[in-house]
Structure formats: C-alpha cells, structure tokens
Amino acid sequence: MEIVEHFFIVCSPLQLRIVSQIKARYANARFHVIYLKTKVELKPYIYEVIDRDFDSGLVASMDYGFINMLKIRQFLKHKNIRYVYMANISHLSVQYILKMLPKDVGIRTFDDGILSINSVGYLDRQIKLRKGISRKLTRLWLGKSYNIKEIAERSELHYSIVKNENKNMNVKCELVYIDILADQSPASAIENAMLSRQGEINIFVGSKFKDILSQKNDDNLAALITKIKSIAAPAKSFIYLRHPREKSSQLFGMKEVVLNSISEDYICQLSSMYQRVNVYGFASTCQLNVMKLDNVHLTLLKTSLIRPDIRDSFALFSDSDKVTVYDLDNVDASVVQKPALSLS
C-alpha cells in the first residue's frame, strides 16, 4: 500500500495540537512538520512533541530571510509531499514554503481560532514586505508571493475548531470539526461528585495585548492594563495564563502559572478539581474551546479599546447560557448575564 506524505506548517502550540489531531485520522502515512517560531523561546515540550510524534520535524524562524529559507528547503529535499496543511496563509514565510512544494500539491487548511482564515476581511489583507537584503534575495529566488485568496480557493479540505456555524467562511470546501480536548481522559465518578471538589477558581486567559487594540499606541495599552487590573481587585484572586507570544512582564496583580501545555489542558484539569471554573478573557480561542466543559463559566471582557472584529466575535458564544459579558468601560457595572449575540 502506498505511503502518503503529509506536511504541516505550524506557528503556535495550539496549531501543533490541532495538527496532532488531524494526523491521527490518517494511516499508512508519513508526517513532517515545520514549526515557525517568533523570538519568544519555545517551551521544551514543543520540541518533545515534534521529535516524538512526527517522522521528521524542523523548528525554524517565522521569517523569510534567505538563510532561513535555505534551511527549510534543505529539510524538504527528497520528500514527496502529497498534502500540505497550513493556517497562516497570509504570512509570507508560509507562502514561500508553499512555493517550494510541487505545483500539484494538495492544499488543506485549518483555523486556529476565532480570528483566523475565515475572519471577515482576512482575504483582503495587505501583505507588507519587510526590508533587508536577505529577504530581497528570497524574493528574487522564489518570486512573487501568492494572493491570499488564491490559496484559500485552492484549499480542498478545511479543519476547524469552531463548531458554531460561521457565516463568514472564506474557504469553500468540505469542513471537518476538530475537538482539541478529545483526548482528555474523562473525570472519574469520584471526581465528578460535587462534594469531592473545591469551590471555585478564577482564570484570566491572556492575549497578545498590543495586537487586540483597535488603535495601537502606548496610551491605549496602559488604559487596557488598568482595566484588566480592575477585575482582580479587591475581592477576587486570579490565575493568569499568558499568551504564548506575549512578552510583557505585566501580571495585572494576578498569580501567573507557567504551563508545559496549552491553556485548554490546564483548564480541563481544573474542571475536575473545582465545582466552578470562571474563565475571563477577550473572547479568546481558549475560552471557545473550553466552553463545552460542564462547570466552566466564561466572562467575555468588553471595551471600546479592543478591535471591532474581536467584539463581533462575541456572537460565537451566543449558544451558551454560561457566558457573561462584562463591560470594562463601565467601572460601576456589575457582572450581568447578557446574550453575547446582542453586542455590537
């Protein structure tokens, strides 16, 4: 039987988890992965997963500089890739890797969150070329980058972690739902007994805070930090789960827990230890993923400081009666239940 070679391009710990779920669907196959990293140091478990779960893997820079691209080209050499999987199709690094593959390679896409390939306006993004002789050499070598829409239209299969119906689908192919918590062991009967659990715990799931601002400047970032601090003081203590690419040392008066896995795994563990787990955040993908857990309750933090598309994404939480919206712009507001769909 022919062995089919699958190739995954990932850019985050969550994407690595998603492709691990995808690869489990295929037998008689070889799996290769490239992890494109930013300047933020990767956790050791990332390297362990790549070494353990894939036939070959490479950690490279999320940059299309000439030397980096040569390194990637060498990795791909002698591989007969049948299918390539990617989420960040607007990144030039990803596009130039695609250019190294056969023209008839099957393109399959996946989304890694609420604001991703199927977001409104994603296909119309303007790609900015970065300066530097090294990147110019890459452009001379590999030629013009792809049009984002062109890649989306070539996708023959799309994997999504968003189960709610999304009316803004940019890919027009078969859609397959991926449950990233599917491999989590169910709680035992003893763990499920409410008397054996502790009371409740508060979690704040962080974002890359500059990126979520509607207008990116230092004053708005300082204002957002002040608003976040207000949810932790004075009555509630919080655990802070940092976004993998957030470099700020700001802790918002909370206790940070450093994880060796994705935040969803940690929250899933807490759900078997506590009667109620309150998860706060700016409509994060993590919140969407853990919403199905019975004793997890979500608070979506709303403020005019964050981007309109993030506020619009609150609609994806509208089917749950465990979702609360908290308006950070109203300091006297009490946390009241609102249907997320009603937000503008």
User: Over the stretch 241-260, which tens digit does the pLDDT of each residue have?
Assistant: 999 889 888 999 999 999 98
Report angle CA 253, 306, 109 to the nearest 5 degrees. Answer: 105
Q: Where are the alpha helices (DSSP H) in the chain?
A: 13-23, 44-53, 66-76, 92-99, 133-142, 148-154, 189-192, 209-212, 218-232, 263-271, 285-290, 308-312
* Residue finishing a domain among 151, 177, 203: 177
> Of 177, 211, 246, which closes a domain?
177
- Does residue 301 form part of some domain? yes
pLDDT digits (tens, 9 = 90+) for 148-198: 888 989 999 999 888 765 556 778 888 899 888 877 654 544 455 544 678
- The answer to whether the CB of 270 falls within 8 A of the CB of 257 is no
Q: Is residue 204 part of a domain?
A: yes
Instruction: For residue 124, give Cα distances in angstroms to 68, 157, 166.
Output: 27, 21, 18
Segment 192-212 shows an average pLDDT of 82
Q: pTM for this one?
A: 0.85
Cα-to-chain-centroid distance, residue 272: 24
Look up residue 317 and give its two tokens: 């939480």
Q: Which residues contact 159 (CB under 8 A, 6 or more apart)?
A: 18, 21, 22, 85, 108, 109, 110, 111, 175, 176, 177, 178
Measured CA to CA, the distance from residue 316 to residue 163 in angstroms comes to 9
CA distance 30 to 83: 11
- What single-letter DSSP state applies at residue 211? H
Looking at the fold, whether 173 and 217 belong to one and the same domain comes out as: no
User: Which CATH number covers residue 205?
Assistant: 3.40.50
Percent of the chain with pLDDT over 90: 63
Mean pLDDT of 204-218: 94
Query: Which are the contacts of 115, defined by CB distance < 8 A and separation ≥ 6?
Result: 309, 310, 313
The Cα 202–Cα 251 span in angstroms is: 14
**Do 231 and 119 fall within a single domain?**
no
C-alpha 63/C-alpha 71 separation (Å) is: 12
Q: Is residue 182 part of a domain?
A: no
Range of the domain at 282: 189-342
Element spanning 32, H or E: strand 29-37
Cα separation, 338 vs 324, in Å, equals: 6
What is the rounded average pLDDT for all residues in the chain? 87
Domain boundary among 119, 144, 177: 177
Q: Mark whether 27 and 113 lie in a shared domain.
A: yes
Q: pLDDT per residue over 41-89, tens digit each? A: 898 999 999 999 999 999 999 999 999 999 999 999 999 999 999 999 9
pLDDT at res. 147: 82
